[in-house]
Amino acid sequence: MSEVILDVQGLKTYFYTSKGIVKAVDNVSFKVGRGEVLGIAGESGCGKSTLGFSLIRLVPPPGRIVGGRITFMAEDILKMPEEEFRTKVRWKGISMVFQGAMNALNPVYTVGAQIAEVLTLHKGLSKKEALEEAANLLKMVGLDPRRIRSYPHELSGGMKQRVVIAMALALRPSLVIADEPTTALDVVVQAQIMNLLKRLQRELKMSIILITHDMSLIAEIADKVAIMYAGKIVEIGSSDRVFNNPLHPYTRALINSIPSLRKELKKLEFIPGVPPDLIQPPPGCRFHPRCKYAFEPCNKEEPPMVEVEPGHFVSCWLHAKR
């Protein structure tokens, strides 16, 4: 791996509700190298977005980070005072493309004014300088610079998504978290947005964490893949290894649920059952109630994360020694 810029170890983010404690992110560990694209995949509700919010310390209440360590550029950012983190890391070092660009922009301000606000606040630019830089950012993401005078309702879904990406890149961060960046976009616009992200990642040499439930998107762009299930990472490895030799039954089921254009589709695969309640997750492996390979230890003991082949880790009793 290239130089590690993000090292997450044992991260826990819980939501304290009237019904109980929701363990949305439960003992998650991974690393991201400089210029690397990490795809995080899993079903809705598995904790992917909460993980992203945890990395920029914007977990909405009643959630909070209760354990673990996040080291960014050799600094433990969970120990930073909020003001220091806001001025030194959030947007400057780590930025985020939030899910649902339709709702991420303020409808009463022009998109230029919203991008310029980031630049005046963090870089101390004058209003004129900030608007000029905002126009350059729009050009960088493939929009007409004159769109700085447009309001969000005057833009299509794909154009709004490009504006949100421009905002995330305004301060040239080392790491961008893209949370479902193609949600609610048609297939053609999805391809345009993914091609844009790939181009910008190459040109700016930035790292990306791509959060999505769409395995085909991850196969297209990611260098490394982490599979999340019920608040935990159950498999992680290079994109080639995970897609060509999936080790966890859940990973295999996700990949098999992708329709193939190369062969006749007789029956679309699906994963039986429903994701578990994260207030009272099942004992042992959290996937065992839905797993056709489950055997005796699966419902009693949580499997350790083991390295099956170089750089390819899995948490499953089919591969772990008891």
Tens-digit pLDDT profile for residues 5-30: 999 999 999 999 999 999 999 999 99
Say yes or no to pLDDT of 322 above 70: no
Tell me the backbone φ, ψ of residue 84, rounded to 5 degrees. Answer: -65, -40
**Predicted pLDDT at 317:** 96
- The hierarchical CATH code for the domain 4-93+175-266 is 3.40.50.300
Say yes or no to pLDDT of 90 above 90: yes
Helix axes 111-123, 127-140, angle to 10 degrees: 120
**Predicted pLDDT at 256:** 86
CA distance 59 to 52: 9
**Predicted pLDDT at 98:** 87
CA distance 86 to 120: 15
Length of the chain: 322
Say yes or no to pLDDT of 223 above 90: yes
**Predicted pLDDT at 265:** 63
Helix axes 157-168, 187-204, angle to 10 degrees: 20
Q: In this predicted model, what pLDDT tens digit does every residue of 241-300 receive, in sequence order?
A: 999 999 999 999 999 887 766 667 667 778 889 999 999 999 999 999 999 999 989 999
Question: Mean pLDDT across the chain, nearest whole number?
Answer: 93
> Looking at residues 1-8, what average pLDDT do you find?
89
**Predicted pLDDT at 99:** 82
Say yes or no to pLDDT of 133 above 70: yes
Say yes or no to pLDDT of 65 above 90: yes
**Predicted pLDDT at 188:** 85
CA distance 227 to 42: 6
Q: In this predicted model, what pLDDT tens digit does every residue of 304-316 receive, in sequence order?
A: 999 999 999 999 9
CB 274 within 8 A of CB 281: no
Bond before 282 cis per omega within 30 degrees: no
**Predicted pLDDT at 103:** 80
**Predicted pLDDT at 130:** 96
CB 18 within 8 A of CB 182: no
Q: In this predicted model, what pLDDT tens digit does every residue of 158-173 receive, in sequence order?
A: 999 999 999 999 999 9
Token code pair at residue 249: 């039954």
Q: In this predicted model, what pLDDT tens digit does every residue of 186-196 receive, in sequence order?
A: 888 888 888 88
- How much of the chain, in percent, has pLDDT values that exceed 90? 79
- Intervals of CATH 3.40.50.300 along the chain: 4-93+175-266
Say yes or no to pLDDT of 148 above 70: yes
CB 153 within 8 A of CB 69: no
Q: In this predicted model, what pLDDT tens digit does every residue of 28-64 receive, in sequence order?
A: 999 999 999 999 999 999 999 999 999 999 999 999 9
Nearest to 64 by CA among 55, 54, 56: 54
Radius of gyration of the chain (CA): 20
